[in-house]
Amino acid sequence: MCEQDDREVRDPLILARVNNERRALIKTTYDALAEEYAAHLAGELAGKPLDRQVLDRFADQMRGTGPVCEVGCGPGQVAKYLHDRGVDVSGLDLSPAMVAEAQRVHPGIAFREGDMLALDLGDQSLAGVVSFYAIVHLAPEALPLAFRELHRVLRPGGLALLAFHIGDETVQPEELWGIPVSLDWVFFRTADVLRSLAAAGLEVGDVVERDPSPGVEHPSRRAYVFAAREG
């Protein structure tokens, strides 16, 4: 996003325009990437033991408590992992092609299109939300809106599990798997994310950070945050 936008996004109308532009770009990019993305990342959790540990803990807390939604589900590998551990999970993603891949590969799970900045879910309708790296394409100024939506759809006492790249840089790859891309991958300082979660009314619990898994993923540090709606 350009420097002028960074200065001006405090204006709600400008922020809405920037978010709409990003939505369109995210959807177009991931529609083009969907098939290769699914082919390369469907089995990624096998090489990420800490991710599995964190998801196992989340599954233990969510099992039998009610519906859980994976927000920004991509081809559905995280939802599938939770489903296999007895969680009543569904998934949503901004990209129709990603949703189609998730439905094709995991036909026993409900997937649909959806926008994390305007979730088509009822107030207090979910026991839990999991979102792995879905905030990576958001402008920092959009985090409060995304987290207010998580708060809105969670029941009192409902649990969110959020994963993101740690840092203050923006990565701009020219291609992924030979497909041209023009998206920003935005990293966040952990303290900034925790502050935004708390401001949205989510009580931050445990925070886990780790170094990258060599040869498995982008070489960035990762954070996993458990946060609950008070009540």
Determine if the pTM surpasses 0.75: yes
pLDDT band at 16 (very low <50, low <70, confident <90, very high): low
d(CA 93, CA 68): 14
DSSP lists the bridge partners of residue 57 as none
Q: Residues in the chain, how many?
A: 231
d(CA 194, CA 225): 8
Going from N- to C-terminal start, the domains of the chain cover: 3-229
CATH number for the domain running over 3-229: 3.40.50.150
If one compares 35 and 2, the residue with the highest pLDDT of the two is 35
Percent of the chain residues topping a pLDDT of 70: 92
Q: pLDDT tens digits for 189-217? A: 999 999 999 999 999 999 999 999 887 78
d(CA 181, CA 41): 17
What is the b/e burial string over 174-203, where b = at least 16 CB atoms within 10 angstroms of the residue's CB?
eeeeeeebebbbbbbeeeebbebbeebbbe
d(CA 167, CA 162): 15
pLDDT at 14: 46
Mean of the pLDDT values across residues 66-81?
97
In the predicted structure, residue 2 carries a pLDDT above the cut 90: no
Q: pLDDT tens digits for 30-42? A: 999 999 999 988 8
pLDDT band at 150 (very low <50, low <70, confident <90, very high): very high
